Structure 1
Amino acid sequence: MKEKVVFIIPCYNESLTIEKVVKDCKKAIPEATVYVYDNNSSDHTDEIARNAGAVVKYEYQQGKGNVVRRMFRDIDADCYIMLDGDDTNPPEFAPEMADLVLNKGVDMVVGDRLSSTYFEENKRPFHNFGNTLVRGSINMLFKSDIKDIMTGYRAFSYNFVKTFPILSKGFEIETEMTIHSVSHNMHVANVVTDYRDRPDGSESKLNTYSDGFKVLRTIFRLFKNYRPFLFFTLIALILFIIGICMFIPVFNTFLITGLVPRIPTLIVSCFFILAALISFFAGIILDVLLSEDKHAFEFRLQQVHANKVIMEKLDNAETL
């Protein structure tokens, strides 16, 4: 049976904060079900969440991306509100986010921490720099205006959840969500939310350097996949410039002397220019395939919407 609004909370060792988070969620939207997905916690996070009134489920593959994949598969709802279990995302903003999904047709609502208290509350300067770098990179590459790329505080529509192919296993999941929604022209809105730093004794599971590198690698991969023409054209331009720079001296020598004394340089320059042409035409071909994939995605959206209507009719029939 499909629910109206649900909170979905991925958790790993959040025993210090999960009780408060669950109770705050119930206070923000009393009629919503609160789901806590425990990801191999060893500090009794699941028991505390269950005692606080949450429905506790489990994902045994480690990693936030794996947890989100499980949540999206398991639960059917009109609106999903995802937030972290570390009490950094105040649930009092959830009603506004849910309203945008339920009544304004928004597919994903981003809880924007960076426009409010994030830089004041967060005491980790490299996290602040990383958030700014990732936001600027994605907005530039994908011509978007997402205010907070890395936030775990989001609301989703049923259509988004059931058509989002999750490939990431860890914390790069937020970046993948953002690029997917922008690339497929889904309706995205920003809601400015407060941010609270973790309480004393609660440690972040995000490693600034290793997870930051994974996020940058994800941006690179998704840039190649979602904007292949621009990606391979840039590579072609670099290869072409290198090839021409190597070719010009050889050509000048030929014009003056009529000889080509540097045959190896000529051969290598021709290889660079040939590689540039191959890269350019690869970008064209992949761009055509991407366009076909977007057509197929729109068809999948229509199928998901049709299934949603059927489920609503069945729910209404059961109610009667």
Structure 2
Amino acid sequence: MTDHDDVCVLLPTMNEAETVARVVNDFRDVGFENVLVIDGGSTDETQSIARESGARVVEQSGRGKGQAVREGVRDHVEAPYVLMADADATYDADDAAAMLEPLFAGEADHVIGNRFADMRPGAMSRLNRIGNRLINAAFRAIHRNSYRDILSGYRAFTRESFERLHLTADGFGIETEMAVECVKNRVSVEVVPITYRERPGGSATNLHPIRDGGVIFLELYRKAKTNNPLFYFGSVGVASTAAGLALGAFVLYRYLAFGISHEIIAVGAVGATILGIQLLVFGVLADMIYSLHREQIVRYDRAISDEAVTESSADDGE
């Protein structure tokens, strides 16, 4: 037995023939024998190369990285700890020990590798850097937590904590959704500095910055409905109110300056303003309900914990 027999390395793949052998071998070289490659139906030699390198290979039933991660963990992983990475050789297997340490020490249930701590030249384009910064800033503003690099694909987590997350994203939004669900379900998270390298020559990325970035922003906003309702409804309310006031000012200016009335625009301005104010009020009320709900959950968890301590003390007394 090795020190990592209770860890499964999970590698979602899609046409990674150029790099998958190197990644599998790197993890096996540092002591991880249980390497699971869950493939999205690659049209190259990814699956056969991964098998020859010693990995267990499963072809996912659906499509997309998110679906691969969900299926891989829930249907094909029995180990209590999961170390998730990309198969493009951008992550360093030598960082695995640091990623797992908070789990083994009981300090966290979910660990995120911070790529910005040691990002090598050429590892990320300027556009991707800007996009990552904006997405992380949006996450902090919307979900009121800072995980520094929520888009990192290098993760370590307990299988039990993963089952507490309600994940539905199929594509690259899975990392964002995992971060949001950790906040929502109060899963303890630790951020660990890692090395992020440039993709080896000959390998192509499956990421489309504009398309996938838009999906991620929408995912952040959609999840705010149940995690920060004031932002979810309030942002639309502010936009609607501002639009209504702007239209109202335009109508008033045209009437006072030129005597021209715009009845239809005026009706639209009033409607937009009323809708915006209603959404703002609804957002405040929803946020109050959410805060009370969170307080009740904390009290319930505390009561369960106290009850468990009492039962343990009683058993020790016997």
TM-score by length of 2: 0.80
Equivalent pair of 1:46/1:56 in contact (CA under 8 Å) = yes
- Secondary structure of the 1:167 match is coil
1:296 shift after superposition = 9.8
1:102 shift after superposition = 2.0
- Secondary structure of the 2:147 match is coil
Match of residue 49 from structure 2: 48
Relative to structure 1, the CA distance from residue 289 to residue 66 in structure 2 (aligned partners, 3 Å threshold; closer, same or farther) is farther
Identical counterparts, % of pairs: 26
Equivalent pair of 2:92/2:196 in contact (CA under 8 Å) = yes
Task: Work out whether 1:152 is the aligned partner of 2:153.
Answer: yes
Relative to structure 1, the CA distance from residue 123 to residue 82 in structure 2 (aligned partners, 3 Å threshold; closer, same or farther) is closer
Equivalent pair of 1:37/1:71 in contact (CA under 8 Å) = yes
Letter in 2 for 1:84: D
Match of residue 28 from structure 2: 26
1:160 shift after superposition = 2.1
CA distance in 1, matches of 2:21, 2:297: 39
CA distance in 1, matches of 2:245, 2:206: 48
CA distance in 1, matches of 2:284, 2:112: 33
Relative to structure 1, the CA distance from residue 289 to residue 80 in structure 2 (aligned partners, 3 Å threshold; closer, same or farther) is farther
Q: CA RMSD in A?
A: 3.3
CA distance in 2, matches of 1:195, 1:265: 53
Match of residue 312 from structure 1: none
Equivalent pair of 2:164/2:185 in contact (CA under 8 Å) = no
Match of residue 271 from structure 1: 271
Relative to structure 1, the CA distance from residue 123 to residue 245 in structure 2 (aligned partners, 3 Å threshold; closer, same or farther) is closer
Match of residue 77 from structure 1: 79
Equivalent pair of 1:37/1:59 in contact (CA under 8 Å) = yes
1:242 shift after superposition = 4.5
- Gaps (5+ residues) in structure 1? 253-260, 303-320
Relative to structure 1, the CA distance from residue 243 to residue 8 in structure 2 (aligned partners, 3 Å threshold; closer, same or farther) is same
Match of residue 9 from structure 1: 11
Deviations 1:242-283 (A, max 9, x none): 44566689999xxxxxxxx87666644442342123212432
Equivalent pair of 1:184/1:294 in contact (CA under 8 Å) = no
Task: Work out whether 1:138 is the aligned partner of 2:139.
Answer: yes
Letter in 1 for 2:59: Y
1:298 shift after superposition = 8.0
TM-score by length of 1: 0.80
CA distance in 2, matches of 1:106, 1:50: 32
Match of residue 257 from structure 2: none
1:37 shift after superposition = 0.6
Letter in 1 for 2:199: R
CA distance in 2, matches of 1:287, 1:123: 37
Match of residue 311 from structure 1: none
Deviates further, 146-155 or 228-237: 228-237
Relative to structure 1, the CA distance from residue 7 to residue 296 in structure 2 (aligned partners, 3 Å threshold; closer, same or farther) is farther
- Secondary structure of the 2:203 match is coil
CA distance in 2, matches of 1:296, 1:49: 48
Deviations 1:198-237 (A, max 9, x none): 1111100111222222122222222344211222123323
Letter in 1 for 2:123: N
- Secondary structure of the 1:236 match is helix
CA distance in 1, matches of 2:276, 2:203: 51
Relative to structure 1, the CA distance from residue 192 to residue 249 in structure 2 (aligned partners, 3 Å threshold; closer, same or farther) is closer
Match of residue 192 from structure 2: 191
Number of paired residues?
294
CA distance in 1, matches of 2:293, 2:160: 17
1:151 shift after superposition = 1.1
- Secondary structure of the 2:26 match is helix
Relative to structure 1, the CA distance from residue 248 to residue 67 in structure 2 (aligned partners, 3 Å threshold; closer, same or farther) is closer
Match of residue 36 from structure 1: 37
Equivalent pair of 2:73/2:159 in contact (CA under 8 Å) = no
Equivalent pair of 1:29/1:95 in contact (CA under 8 Å) = no
Relative to structure 1, the CA distance from residue 182 to residue 265 in structure 2 (aligned partners, 3 Å threshold; closer, same or farther) is same
Alignment of 1:1-320 (within 5 A): 4-30=6-32, 32-74=33-75, 75-118=77-120, 120-122=121-123, 124-244=125-245, 267-284=267-284, 286-287=286-287, 290=290
Letter in 2 for 1:90: D
CA distance in 2, matches of 1:137, 1:128: 14
Match of residue 310 from structure 1: none
- Gaps (5+ residues) in structure 2? 254-260, 303-318
Equivalent pair of 1:115/1:147 in contact (CA under 8 Å) = no
1:190 shift after superposition = 1.1
Letter in 2 for 1:85: A
Deviations 1:33-78 (A, max 9, x none): 1111111012121111112111111103121011011012112332
